[in-house]
Structures are given as structure tokens and as C-alpha cells.
Chains A and B, each alone.
Chain A
């Protein structure tokens, strides 16, 4: 810790090569990059060639297969490593010549000095908790408005640089408005700001407070979160059907607008369902991780895609909160970072026991209602239903234990309506042959006199747990008849059904009466041995036998694969299975279910934990789900330490850990993300990777300062953090500098000028709508369909069509546009919006001709140009006055004469041509003047100053 802190101070200018004479070697700064660049590909977490690995210190100090110690602290001359990087023998040299160049003299010297100093090791900077760094002392103290400015300035001063001048009011207002709300400032807002006679700090503070309070703020920042959450309105594969999950998108917008602390925002999304007395909003929040893809293609293996979704939840959680490439650990130990293979599956166990299992209807879902009172009634009933089922399950299992002894029942015959059933010695029945969907079995049982209940046991075909789960089996109808000594058959009622677990989309309890979703077994897969008890209406009379008819009416994998029971047997008891008050509980459950249904609402997929039967999470050897290893329990990676908890850790424990003080990454990752959104590049440029393979922070002290402030000073309030950032001198610099200044710091790594960023895909559209006066202020609700060319959607097996929205829905903010994964909105894709298949931590801005085609020719943009022309013409005046008016809408200030003149000349030429061709003019909105002005507006919306902020 001390080490990191001193480093932060010592390296005010990051990336000054290596150590100066006499200074101690710093492992993270000097040595780790050498190891990661040259060594760990072969001697790392995946491969440890020759038994040598440089990921963990104890391994690096140990002997390799050769028996020689790789590193002997204090003794470079005895360390095999030094010999191998310096030898002239090509066969012995490391790195091997075919793998890479030999180490430079400076690198070798660093290694030697490091080993001589005892080879001290420190964990990677990002897994060590941030400490509040001292605010540096700077020469130009007057420039510092927020403490973060001191960090930025100190680095500039040390490099002999200085900040650019302050941005003028117009430049700053446009930038901060677009950054905070995604919309340009209106002329009224400009007038209010420029007319504000307060101090600089007060005036700008007032603007920022207004922007942060605007409902548009949430719409802008939600977009950033929706990329991370891979939010889309469709499932993702093949038919790519509609998923009704927009209420969650609205939840995000509301959460940003309400400035929900990021800690709470985190816990509710990852584990809202596990909070005590979870509210409707808590449940809705968990849809975050139901944004995973669902494969509804006919004949797909539901378990394969369930697993894919769970892995995506693990990987997304690590990218979003930890900026760690945890996905690597799915197949093998992390090549560079200290995460052994088992860490992945321990963490996966947090997510592996939710009910969802790639069902075509996205089950399970929670019906969300807008009306708060109704929503809370529904949430209460929903929660109560879960608790009642838990109690019913517990009571039932106790009752079955109380009815010991259970003894085996002989099977005299077993016939299937298709395929073959074979009765083995001991009464076990096994299925073979072609079992059609819906197959029915008729099984005759003997030696059942006096029995009050029958237990059916189902076993997987394999007895090896590593082979599980197996194909699903689901008994959806179970009827018992008593066959008297005279051969007469009479139906026997089933008083109650008791099952070993009450998980899955089918309800064993309902088998007693039959009904929708009644069924017992493993669905969509059989995860292990199962049992289910059918309590009979009365004991089986003397001399009688029993006939059971069971049907399998619930095919899996989109309805194409049957679910026959493949291996089963029966037991019975003559003891009484105690009722134990379950009748009342069932009645209460029914009542709550009625309450819940009454609430109605939009049914949104959510997380729902299996209460009585966590899945058996096992390590996948080399990441292959078909070759499983040992069982794992939920747990946080060991590198983070952490206190042991009694009992099984839950998803809620994990969520709380992410935002606890013990976590070194979450606050840094979030602070970096906010910084990157405002400044165009993160302090750690690889926003998605803070590990050894990612970029180092260009200024770790600044990053840690922000991370600590976010938590300690601002209590995870993003609005307060953003307020501080946009009011800083760093943010307030002008971006208008001379080309030589740009050339001196082309990527602005010193933040020595203001950020200049191209508008995001959403902003490009929203700004044009706002300028043209068409923008609808309507918030929330189902996705909308702004104009899109015909034929863009043509998905297999899907009747979905793009029904262009009418009225104000045509002009809603981009965040409300329907997101179809397999066919994104063309205008957004061109401007780098991701497809939302997977978590996207960073959009990479491109600059392409296809973008030009969108904003020049897309009929939606032409429509906006027409509207903008009307708006500019409204107050009359000369053509040039109209042009100047439109220009001011973008630049706020009085337009420069030469700019007006350039566009004015375009207008003059156009008006002559349109005058000579009334037909053309009509196509562009009306008479020659209107058409010419529309052309000018179309041009204006394409200017570089319009497309940037």
C-alpha cells in the first residue's frame, strides 16, 4: 500500500522511462511491464513452460523443471532468469529468438537491480485499494478550481506544459449541455446564462445545477449504461423476437434522474430480488442481467444457452464493475492476472442458481405496473408467493421423512405409446427407442396393498455427477387407478403431491389437480436424481394392484425435443404422510397468486433465485461445459482477501462486496468511466481492462483521488461527481487551439486543452431534432420506430415489421428507439452504436463516408432540415438573417460574417436554380426560397462544428 502511494506521488509524470540512478526499482512500474511484455505469454497463468511462471511471486521464486531457482532474491548471479536473458547461447536465450527480441540493456539492468534489491513483489496496482493521495502543490494555484485540477496541472507543469485558456461561455455551455443532457442549449438558456451577472463560479454552477436537474440528464446517461448492460428490445438469435424489457430501461433513466447512489444502483440491479421485502423497483432492477441473449431457434439446447447467458452475466459483471478480463478465466487460469481457473466457477456459482433457463417465453418474469400502489401490492404478493412455496416445500419434505419406511414397489408391466420400456430386476424402468413428444407410459405396480402414498424416483441415465445435467424429463400428467382382484379398474384420487424441490417452470404441486404448467421432473434438463410423492386419497385396498398412467406433454428446446422419463422406479409407504397444514398454505398461495394476477402490468424478465435447490456448479475443464470437474461453492477471488462468511454466500453478498470498501476497483472504474465520457478518453484508456494487459493509468493519483472522492465525499452520487468534473478548470479549457499545440500533445494525454468530441450516435439525432424544433419531450414507454428505410428488417421466421411511429413518437429521443440486435437502427450503427449483443465498455468513434450519407441523405434528416428551415424563416428577415439565426441555434454566439456569407452564397445559387425548376423546389419543401433554405440547413447540420461538442 505504502509502495503504491509513494509511487503515485513520485510519478506525477507517468511514463518517464524507468528508474533514475540511485532510485529503487518499483515492481509495478518497472518490472511487471517487462514480465508481461516478454515473459508471461509462455511463463504465465495459462502456460508455465518449464514449470516457470511470473504471475505469482512464490512460483517465480521457486525452481523450474530444470531444478534451478528462477529468481534468488538478493542474488542476481544465482538466478536462472538472469542467466537466461543474458546468455549468448541461442538455444538457451530467453525470450526464445522465435518468440521475440532479446531484452534491451536497460531492461536487463532493471531486472538485475530488482533481484539484487530482494525481488520485492507487489500486487498489480488495480487490485490494491486506492488511498486518498495528497493534493499536489502547483505553481499556478489560481488555476485550480477543484482539487482534481491540481493533479492535472502538476503533471503539466512537470512536463513543462501549461493549460489552454478558458473556453468562452458559448463553447462551454454547448459542451456541458450536450455532455450532461445529450441536448444542445436553447437560445433561452443561452440568454439566461450570458445575462447572469453572478461570479464565474456561481453562473456556471447554476447552469450545471439546472442541467443535472433536467429530466434529459437521465436519458443521456442511461445510454452509457445501456451499452454496458447490453440492453436491447429483442432476444438476439435467429427470429430475434421482441423482448418486453423497456420498463427496465425506464428504471435506469429514473435512477439516474433521481441520482440513486451508485452503490444502491449496483446492489438493486445485481440482487434486488434478494433484498428483504423487495419492492417492485428492486425486482425490475434485476432485469439488468436478463438482457442476456436467449436462443429461441428451433432445436437449440436450452441448457447450452442458459450456460452461455450465465457466463455472460459473470463476464459482464466483471467488465462493468471491475474492468477485469475475467472471461479469460473461464477456460484457464488468467494468463497475466492473479485469478486461478477455479475463481471463475466460484464466482459463477453466485449467478448459476437463478430460475431462468433459456425458455422461449423468457420465464421467469415479473409484471411491472406504473401505478406505485398497485406495483407494491403486486411485489408483496410476488414475494409472499415465494415464501409460501418455500414453507410448503419444507413441510412436505418433513412429512415424507415422517412417513418412513418407504419400500420398493414391483413393476409388473410398463408400456409406452411410442418407444420401448424395459423393466429391470428391482423394478427400475428404463426407456429406449424413439419416444415421441407427448409419450404416455402405462405402468402396473404390484405389492401395493395398504399403501397410502407412492413415491416416484427419477434417476439420470449416468450415475456420474460430472455427466449431469442430462436431457430433460417432465411428467405433466400422472393418474393412478386401482385394479381390483376382479380385474376392474377404478380411478384413485391424488390428495396431495409432495416434491423434493419446487424449482423450474413446472409445478409438481399442481399435478394433484392437473392444470397448466403442472409437472414433475427435470426441465429443461435433469440435473440429478429427483423424487416426487403422490399421496393417495385412501389406502390401496387388499388384493388390489395399481396402474399408473404418466404423460410427458412438455417438450424442450423450443418444443422440438420430447422429455420422456428415462430411468425411474417406485416406492410406497403404508404410514400416513402428515398433512402438516399444507392445505392452508396452498390456499394462501392461491390467494396471493390471485392478488398478483389482479395487478396486471407489463411482464418483464427478472432474476429469481431457486430457493430450495441451488444448481451444482462445476469447473469446466478448458471451459468446455461437456467436460466437468470439481464442484465449486460461491466465492470472491482469493486475491481480494475478504472475510469468511458462515454458510453459503449469495448473489446479494457479492453485490455488496462490489461496492464495499474492500473492493479496490469499482469506484475507480466508475470514476474513470465518467471522466472518459466527459474528456473523450479515460485516465485508464482501456476502460474495460484495468488488468496487466490493459493500459496503465496515465495519472494514478488523479484516478485514486476521484475514486476516493466519489465514495467518501460524494457518497456514490454520480451527479455530485459530475458536477465537480464539469466545473473544473480542466474541463473548462478551450478546445480551440493552434495545430502546433495539438501536434505537441496529439492525444491530449495531459488534458492541456479542452475536450473536443464527436457527438454520440444518440446525440447526432437528438441534436438535429432539437434544433429543428421537432423533438418530443415525451419520456418513457415502449420502444418507438422512427423512420427507417424499407427492407432493413428481414429476419427469418419472424412476422415482426418496422411500423413507423406516427405523431410525436416519430420524434422521440434516440434512447427510446427500438433496439433490434440482429438489425440495428442504421443511422446509429453508422455512428458507432454497438449492436448490444454483449457488454460494450467503450465505443470507438470512427469517421467514415457512410456517416456523411446518413446525415446528408437519410429522409429523417431531410425532414429535420425542412423543419429547421421553417424555424429559421419564422421571424422573417433576409435570407442571410435567416441563415444567421439557424447558425446561432448551434453556435449560440453571433455568427461570423464569413460563415454567414459562405452559406448565403450557397443560398443565392440554390434559389436561382430552384426558381428555374419549381418541380425540384417542391420536392424540397415548397417554393424556391424554402427549398434553398432547406438545402442550407441540410448543409449546416453536416458541419463539423455541429457534429462535435
Chain B
């Protein structure tokens, strides 16, 4: 079928809203070989098949905003400990840009002892005792690197593939490509903890250039989980039902009078909203979990915490939510104050996530969900092997600056190679050296696990078939070594 015929194919009025931007979209879609199947505008989140069978049907992405130190958790560097306190060699500094480090800083050895765990012998520090118990589930990627050294842009790269706001987020791509398995819940849900939203703001879960329907829905772990979910005071369920029945009658007449298919869609959406009010409330009700589950996660219903969010993530995964994005704020361990010191606040942050992360994997495994649920943990960049010397001076607390050249993430479940450690950094953990993985490679790989060829999951805009793995980074590749 040529593009002109396509444009004339009778479709719903807003057909192109759901699948492309006009003629351009058509031919670009064609040219790309096989774009995602055209969307039914009435059901833009209808389940769609990926390019090939998926290993991961859903994703739980635990983002540690601020970026935890790989050198205190995963990347064991005895050589760095030997150099502790010495001046940083000039070769480390040439051509580098830092956020805060000035001149010639001192090297800083890892602050916590490391040991090997599990049958796989994964190296972990003593800050992660619970995670150590599931070490054999983890696929630890030690050779991540990025090209951004500030939080906002680096977070955007990890979540949208582009350093400036305006591109579509990972979760948005997932629901765009796969739809949602639950009609009564959003397909892409975002939960935050640590008291703040991530630095890059809501752009990291926005739909960017994709239709708004694919944007992440931020839910809250206390109060109303979804904004405006609750019926207003004075309107109970029964009353709302009557009101929606009346509304349906009126809208049905409008549909008849105008012949506008959008009216029929609107009627369906109001019904879905009504069901969502129940389904979402139920999904977010942690009190329904038994005591032993609360003990496993360390959850306390009613307050906002990372542990609560992990348990909610499992409940949402069970209900078929496609992409569950958690942000935990407070990992920016510069050492400029007690809260962000490696020897103080960082320890508390580790404690607040360690048990819940391990519990999430254990729980998913127990329920048989880990097979096809991909769990991802990590920050937006790494931290320097040098001690931060803000304003050129030694600081009262111990901390590290941002390091885009090396960081660690881990993945589990959903088709990744469990019990492995992938890639390596140099002797000091400063730069990824072996089997380097860029954020775009990471995107390509996760999309592959979800059944997509990252080059073919595209959205045409202004003449460019945009994609998560960033069309301006042509070298991005699927990392087979991460896949089981």
C-alpha cells in the first residue's frame, strides 16, 4: 500500500494522534521495515505484540536519584585503597570536567569492606547484607558510562536517551510499544520516595513527543494514589454510578447527533475512570498484605518510603502494570554535609533500600513473577575515586563528586543472566574499560528483553524516526552478554 492510499484509509478521526504524524509517519514507518502496529485511537493502550517474543513482560525500575557510589557498594578496588590520601595523578584530570572538584584532589579508598557472596561469588560491600542473600539473582553491570555529569541531564539520558527535556521516557516507550495489560490501571506508574522528585522533574516520566496518553502517572503512596481518584466529598459510589449513567445517556445522544467517534471513546473512558477508582484504590491498599510480607519488606503502611513503594511495585506488577518506575531521592554523596556524607547519610540510605530490594526479588520469585519481570536498580552516573574538595578545600565529611565515566547498575529477572558480573572498570574504578555499556546500549538491551528491536521501535517526528536509544547515537547496540 503506498503512503497516499494509507492516508486515505478510512480511520477514526484522530487516528494519526495515536500512531504517527501524518504522511511523514507513514513512509518513515514503512521505511523502518515494520513499525509498531497502528494504534486504535479509542484504545491506545491495547495490548500489542512486540517484534519478537518477550523475556520481560514488565519492568520495575528502581532509580536511586543522585547516584550511589559504586565504590562503596559493588565495584571492589583494593588498589584505590592503597592510594588513599595521595594526590590524584594529572593524567586523571586532563580534559575532565567535574561538577565540584577543583585542581588536584586526593584519592579516596572505598569506605566499606567487600566480600564475595552466593554461589556466583558476587562482590558486595557490607552495606548490602540483604541483597547479598539474593546475589545469585543479580546481573551486575559494572561498566556503565554516560556523557552527562550533572543530575538533571544525566537522569534524562537514563530515562529518555536525550540530555534535554522533551523526549519520551522509557516507560512511555514501553506502553507505546506494548500497551497495558490492565484496563483499570495506568500502564506506566511512577512512585517517589526520599521526600523529593528526581532532579530532572517530571520530564523523566513524560511522554515527550509521544502522545500524552503514554506518560507516566505519578501515584502517591499516601493519600490518594492517583490525583483526583477519590469521589468528591458528598458523592458516594452509588451516586457517581447514577451520574455516569445519566452522562452516558446524554453522550449517546450526542454521538448520534454528531456522528463523532470521539464521543463514543469518551464514553468508554468515563467507564474506565470509574473502574480505575476501585482498582487503583485496591492496588494501593497495603493493609491487605499479611504480616510476614510486611516483615519481609520492612514496610509501614501509610507513610511514604522506598520499602512501601517496592511492595506497591509488586502489587502493581501482579496486576499487569507494564512499567513501574520508582525514584528514591537522596544519593548524592558529595560529603558537603552530614546527610550526604559517605560515612553518615549514605549508610542510612543503604539501610533504607537494602532490605526492600532483596524482599522484592524474593517476593517476585515466590510468586513466579520474577521470570518475566525485569527489575533494574541504579543511578544516573557514578562517583569519583577522588575525594571531593569543594572550593579547593578539604571538607569535614567524606564524599565523592559525580563521575560520568563509570558506574554500576544491576538487573534481575526478566531474561537477564543471573549471578553474573558484567564489564569492568580500571584499577581505580574511574573509567569503564572492559565491555563498556552506554545508556543507549542499556536501552537497546532492555528493549530487546521486552521483545523489541530498538531500531524499529520508533516514532516519526519532524522527519526523524525517533527512538529511545537516541537516533543521534548510531552506535548503540544490544548487549547480549547481559541476556540469559
Q: How many whole Å from A942's CB to the nearest CB in chain B?
A: 6
B103 touches A15 (CB 8 A): no
User: A residues within 8 A CB of B223?
Assistant: 790-791
User: A residues within 8 A CB of B239?
Assistant: 910, 913, 935
Bound-complex Cα distance A518 to B265 (A) = 63
* Cβ contacts A826-838/B at 8 Å (1 or 0 each): 1001101001011
Q: In the complex, which of the residues A821, A850, A898, A899 contacts B165, with contact meaning CB atoms closer than 8 Å?
A: A821
Q: How many whole Å from A307's CB to the nearest CB in chain B?
A: 11
* Cβ contacts A847-865/B at 8 Å (1 or 0 each): 1111111101111001000
Most buried by A among B150, B243, B246, B392: B246
User: B residues within 8 A CB of A33?
Assistant: 3, 27
A832 touches B212 (CB 8 A): yes
Q: Given A297-B150, A433-B104, A434-B392, are A856 and B273 also a contact pair (CB < 8 Å)?
A: yes
- B22 contacts A by Cβ under 8 Å: yes
B254 touches A328 (CB 8 A): no
A822 touches B197 (CB 8 A): yes
- A713 contacts B by Cβ under 8 Å: no
User: A residues within 8 A CB of B245?
Assistant: 906
User: B residues within 8 A CB of A435?
Assistant: 102-103, 392
User: B residues within 8 A CB of A562?
Assistant: 102, 391-392
- A133 contacts B by Cβ under 8 Å: no
- B472 contacts A by Cβ under 8 Å: yes
Q: Given A299-B98, A791-B220, A853-B229, are A847 and B246 also a contact pair (CB < 8 Å)?
A: no
B269 touches A789 (CB 8 A): no
B260 touches A756 (CB 8 A): yes
* Cβ contacts B231-256/A at 8 Å (1 or 0 each): 11111101110110111011101111
Q: Output the nearest chain A residue to B201 by Cβ-Cβ distance.
A: A822
User: A residues within 8 A CB of B197?
Assistant: 794-796, 822-823
- A769 contacts B by Cβ under 8 Å: no
User: B residues within 8 A CB of A574?
Assistant: none
User: A residues within 8 A CB of B267?
Assistant: 944
A942 touches B22 (CB 8 A): no
User: B residues within 8 A CB of A418?
Assistant: 103, 392
A736 touches B257 (CB 8 A): yes
Bound-complex Cα distance A548 to B286 (A) = 69
- A301 contacts B by Cβ under 8 Å: yes
B463 touches A693 (CB 8 A): yes
Q: How many whole Å from A662's CB to the nearest CB in chain B?
A: 24
User: A residues within 8 A CB of B229?
Assistant: 853, 857
Q: Output the nearest chain A residue to B8 by Cβ-Cβ distance.
A: A15
A17 touches B4 (CB 8 A): yes
Q: In the complex, which of the residues A38, A293, A794, A844 contacts B211, with contact meaning CB atoms closer than 8 Å?
A: A844
A-B contact count (CB 8 A): 333
Q: How many whole Å from B230's CB to the nearest CB in chain A?
A: 6
Interface-located stretch among B10-18, B313-321, B346-354? B10-18
- A436 contacts B by Cβ under 8 Å: yes
A849 touches B269 (CB 8 A): yes
Q: In the complex, which of the residues B13, B151, B238, B329 contacts A747, with contact meaning CB atoms closer than 8 Å?
A: B13
User: A residues within 8 A CB of B247?
Assistant: 939, 942-943
User: A residues within 8 A CB of B262?
Assistant: 758, 847, 948
- B217 contacts A by Cβ under 8 Å: yes
A237 touches B200 (CB 8 A): yes
Interface set, chain B 83-105, CB cutoff 8 A to A: 97-100, 102-105
A835 touches B202 (CB 8 A): yes
Bound-complex Cα distance A75 to B226 (A) = 67
- A611 contacts B by Cβ under 8 Å: no
* Cβ contacts A269-311/B at 8 Å (1 or 0 each): 0000000000000000000000001010111110000001000
- B282 contacts A by Cβ under 8 Å: no
Q: How many whole Å from A293's CB to the nearest CB in chain B?
A: 7
Q: In the complex, which of the residues A686, A821, A903, A905 contacts B201, with contact meaning CB atoms closer than 8 Å?
A: A821
B24 touches A695 (CB 8 A): yes
Bound-complex Cα distance A439 to B235 (A) = 66
User: B residues within 8 A CB of A902?
Assistant: 246, 249-250
B200 touches A238 (CB 8 A): yes
User: A residues within 8 A CB of B263?
Assistant: 944
Q: In the complex, which of the residues A792, A898, A938, A943 contacts B254, with contact meaning CB atoms closer than 8 Å?
A: A943
Q: How many whole Å from B294's CB to the nearest CB in chain A?
A: 24
Q: Given A795-B197, A852-B270, are A419 and B24 also a contact pair (CB < 8 Å)?
A: no
Bound-complex Cα distance A211 to B81 (A) = 75
B105 touches A434 (CB 8 A): yes
Bound-complex Cα distance A758 to B235 (A) = 26
- A122 contacts B by Cβ under 8 Å: no
Q: Output the nearest chain B residue to A234 by Cβ-Cβ distance.
A: B201
- B213 contacts A by Cβ under 8 Å: yes
- B49 contacts A by Cβ under 8 Å: no
- B261 contacts A by Cβ under 8 Å: yes
Q: How many whole Å from A645's CB to the nearest CB in chain B?
A: 30
Bound-complex Cα distance A738 to B256 (A) = 7
User: A residues within 8 A CB of B186?
Assistant: 850
B16 touches A685 (CB 8 A): yes
- A19 contacts B by Cβ under 8 Å: no
Interface-located stretch among A447-455, A480-488, A916-924? A916-924
B11 touches A746 (CB 8 A): yes
User: B residues within 8 A CB of A592?
Assistant: none
Q: How many whole Å from B182's CB to the nearest CB in chain A?
A: 12
Q: In the complex, which of the residues B17, B30, B269 contacts A851, with contact meaning CB atoms closer than 8 Å?
A: B269
Bound-complex Cα distance A176 to B258 (A) = 18
Q: Output the nearest chain A residue to B245 by Cβ-Cβ distance.
A: A906
Bound-complex Cα distance A336 to B464 (A) = 10
B259 touches A433 (CB 8 A): no
Q: How many whole Å from B79's CB to the nearest CB in chain A?
A: 23
Interface set, chain A 715-766, CB cutoff 8 A to B: 735-744, 746-748, 756, 758
Bound-complex Cα distance A104 to B256 (A) = 42
Bound-complex Cα distance A822 to B256 (A) = 41
- B196 contacts A by Cβ under 8 Å: yes
Q: How many whole Å from B437's CB to the nearest CB in chain A?
A: 21
Q: In the complex, which of the residues A560, A695, A735 contacts B22, with contact meaning CB atoms closer than 8 Å?
A: A695
- A388 contacts B by Cβ under 8 Å: no
Q: How many whole Å from A282's CB to the nearest CB in chain B?
A: 30
Q: How many whole Å from B77's CB to the nearest CB in chain A?
A: 23
Q: How many whole Å from A689's CB to the nearest CB in chain B?
A: 5
- B266 contacts A by Cβ under 8 Å: yes
Bound-complex Cα distance A829 to B201 (A) = 14
Interface set, chain A 801-849, CB cutoff 8 A to B: 821-824, 826, 829-830, 832, 835, 837-838, 844-849
A300 touches B99 (CB 8 A): yes
- A945 contacts B by Cβ under 8 Å: yes
Most buried by B among A100, A796, A829, A921: A796
Bound-complex Cα distance A854 to B234 (A) = 17
Q: Given A742-B259, A844-B17, are A835 and B199 also a contact pair (CB < 8 Å)?
A: no
- B67 contacts A by Cβ under 8 Å: no
Q: In the complex, which of the residues B100, B236, B273 contacts A852, with contact meaning CB atoms closer than 8 Å?
A: B273
Q: Output the nearest chain A residue to B5 by Cβ-Cβ distance.
A: A17
A736 touches B258 (CB 8 A): yes
Q: Output the nearest chain B residue to A903 by Cβ-Cβ distance.
A: B246
Interface set, chain B 121-169, CB cutoff 8 A to A: 149-153, 164-166
Q: In the complex, which of the residues B23, B203, B266 contacts A696, with contact meaning CB atoms closer than 8 Å?
A: B23
User: A residues within 8 A CB of B236?
Assistant: 920
Q: How many whole Å from A416's CB to the nearest CB in chain B?
A: 11
- A240 contacts B by Cβ under 8 Å: yes
Bound-complex Cα distance A367 to B266 (A) = 47
- A149 contacts B by Cβ under 8 Å: no
- B272 contacts A by Cβ under 8 Å: yes
9 A-B pairs within 8 Å (CB atoms) are namely: A328-B463, A691-B463, A748-B13, A758-B262, A796-B198, A837-B166, A847-B266, A852-B273, A922-B234
Identify 17 new A-B residue pairs, CB closer than 8 A, beyond the known A796-B329, A853-B228, A944-B250. A15-B7, A17-B5, A104-B2, A238-B152, A240-B201, A295-B153, A299-B99, A434-B392, A685-B22, A789-B224, A826-B228, A837-B164, A852-B273, A853-B227, A922-B234, A939-B246, A944-B263
3 residue pairs, one from A and one from B, having the closest CB atoms: A822-B201, A434-B103, A299-B99
